[in-house]
Amino acid sequence: IRAAKSTDEQYGAMMEKMHSLASTCTLAPAREVLLCLSGVGFRCAFTFCAKMCDFSRLCSGRRVTS
């Protein structure tokens, strides 16, 4: 039971860090757009934006999906 509580606490701390980073990130507008899509949650949008880093290198939406 202690391990489960510890894991929950670590997860909560990680999510708090993600939310604080997301609010100051330059990709916040892109994250907000992604959150409007059905089935896309905060973690998914945050991770996608973190992996992409610079959307300006993509000339179209089709490049994102390829």
Select the more confidently predicted residue: 16 or 24: 16
Q: How much is the average pLDDT of 7-24? A: 84
Select the more confidently predicted residue: 25 or 47: 47
Select the more confidently predicted residue: 31 or 60: 31
Say if residue 39's pLDDT is above 90: yes
Predicted TM-score (pTM) of this structure: 0.59
> Whose CA is closest to 48, among 62, 66, 27?
27
Q: What are the DSSP calls for the chain, one per residue?
A: -HHHHHHHHHHHHHHHHHHHHHHH-TTHHHHHHHHTSTT--HHHHHHHHHHH--GGG-SSHHHHH-
Q: How far apart are CA 7 and CA 32, in angstroms?
A: 28
